[in-house]
Structure 1
Amino acid sequence: MSEQDFELYERIQAADKQALETLYERYEKLLFSFALRMTGRRDLSEEIVQDVFMKIWTKPNLYDRSKGKFSSWLLTVTRNASIDSMRRKNEQTEALDERDSLKSNEPAVEDLVQWKEEGTVLRHAIAQLAEEQREMIELFYFKGLSQRAIAEERNIPLGTVKGRIRLALKHLKGHLSTGKGGVDGEVRGID
Structure 2
Amino acid sequence: MTDKVTALDLEPEAPLPEDVATYFDKCREKLGLIPNVLLAYAFDAEKLWAFSAMYNDLMLAPSGLTKAEREMIAVAVSAQNACVYCLTAHGAALRQLTGNPALAETIAQNWRVADITPRQRAMLAFAVKLTNAPADMGEDDRAALRAAGFSDADIWDIAAVAAFYNMSNRVAAAVEMRPNPEYHGMAR
User: Do the two structures share a fold, i.e. TM-score over 0.5?
Assistant: no
TM-score with structure 2 setting the length? 0.28
* More relative contact order, 1 or 2 (CA 8 Å, 6+ apart): 2
TM-score (norm 1): 0.28
